[in-house]
Structure 1
């Protein structure tokens, strides 16, 4: 993992020919800014020299084809997997100094659902940052966990074993755990994958409420047909950064074609991006 920089130092961004490029400024108010991030599995880079800036009080989608590096970008930003190079900033600080401002919802497929724990226990895990792993939760914190379950429609399942839930219910519980952290930045890896329509609506309603409360949401997303309805900002990736910006200007036919490399039918592209253009 790249080491933190000294105060005032700007990141050096790798270029394709190996020469150092001009340092890139880091927006001080951006909830998440990535500069020159590279991740490699063996000799093949999964993410190469990526810059990305995700705006405040917005819902941002990371999109791209399978194997494009979407989840890798998110995990490497968090430090869940090591990055070969690059730097990550949260509200202008190196991420190592601002982890308490982040809540993370992993892919449901990556979780051991056979672990013997209840729904309430999972949500209360989001509070351990405040009391420590061996600390006792106050009555107020326990009430907060119940409130977070209520927000995602899972209060009646508080004492159910987590493995007994459906996929959509499990995803709601992990979102409740993230809510319990009362973070400023919420990072979600494929939050709608494998969930039913009712759960998808419930999750998006919660995320839009977070945005209205001044929080920032960044989600790896796979359903292109809902990008315009769900998100304000979009980041398109296929190993390298293809484009980023407001959905109205960046989610275009040209950018989608460049991202997906001709894998999307022309009629489908027109439906997704009625404005067209590059």
Structure 2
């Protein structure tokens, strides 16, 4: 039996997002750090107006796939299309929240300035910050519960607070596609709740969210769709159809106990 899990069906027919109009369509993406491919010939088609999790074991290529989609790393093969256009023509429709561990938090800047960075397209070459820009940045901070920290140095914040600020920066971009790399990693419960509420509000606005995710116990509560990867694509589709015991076993193998796989797939 193939380890790949087909998409869910409605009325007995497969429901497959159209790559030509998908917010993000990856075809044949292969990335190598040295001689060993980290991601091998991966196809992915993201559903518009949904929240999708990219899941897989450590070292499976989750973050690498996201970075390849963004052009942060250059694939050996394959291509990324954003709303039917090459990545270079649609960058202004994407907002990205990197892993918190990859950011230099010692850089001497205030919270408000970090969020204003998300307005670089509006600010133009002269980078003139006007009252309307400040108001917009403050509104984004309020949306993540960080408006009272606008004048705080970014390095003085807790990990959860820093993550909220970077989400506010992404919100300031007013993108159509939001890509987040481990947004819930190492944050407190209050921040996790705040983040998922914002992501669900983006979905209600018709935006598309894709997040690398590691906590399998929250997949059913947080996400509409799931993409499973272990160097290769192992499955994708709506959570109810693709987040199954078979798919988890194929993706994680012996890294998850049988009992744990059963509980996760059943949502208990």
Name 1:268's counterpart in structure 2: 260
After the TM superposition, which segments of 4 or more aligned residues of structure 1 sit over 4 Å from their partners?
none
Q: Do 1:38 and 1:85's aligned partners in 2 also have CA atoms closer than 8 Å?
A: yes
2:145 is aligned to 153
Aligned to 1:104: 96
Does residue 1:248 correspond to 2:240, yes or no?
yes
Distance 2:255 2:204 in 1: 36
Structure 1: tracts of 5 or more residues without a match: 1-24
Alpha-carbon spacing, 1:211–1:151, altered in 2? closer, same or farther (3 Å): same
Alignment partner for residue 36 of structure 1, among 23, 28, 44? 28
Q: Which has the higher contact order (CA 8 A, sep 6+)?
A: 2
Contact 1:26 1:92 in 2 (8 A): no
Instruction: Please give the TM-score of this superposition, normalised by the length of structure 2.
Output: 0.92
2-structure distance, mates of 1:61, 1:83: 21
Separation of aligned partners in 1, 2:169 and 2:126: 18
Structure 2 residue aligned with 1:56, among 36, 41, 48?
48
Question: Match of 2:201?
Answer: 209
Q: Which of 159, 164, 169 lines up with 1:167 in the alignment?
A: 159
| 1:227 partnered with 2:219 | yes
Q: Which residue of 1 aligns with 2:57?
A: 65
TM-score (norm 1): 0.89
Q: CA deviation at 1:134?
A: 2.8
Q: Residue 173 of structure 2 aligns with which residue?
A: 181
Give the C-alpha shift of residue 61 in structure 1: 0.2
In the alignment, is residue 136 of structure 1 matched against residue 124 of structure 2?
Answer: no
Deviations 1:13-44 (A, max 9, x none): xxxxxxxxxxxx96222111000000001000
State the Cα RMSD in Å: 1.4
Secondary structure (helix, strand or coil) at the match of 2:202 reads: helix
1:80-128 Cα offsets, whole Å, 9 max, x none, are 1111111001111111100000000000000000000000000000001
Distance 1:117 1:71 in 2: 26
Give the C-alpha shift of residue 141 in structure 1: 1.7
- Give me the whole-angstrom Cα distance separating, in 2, the residues matched to 1:134 and 1:110: 28
Q: SS of the residue aligned with 1:269?
A: helix
User: Quick one: distance in 1 between partners of 2:127 and 2:111?
Assistant: 19
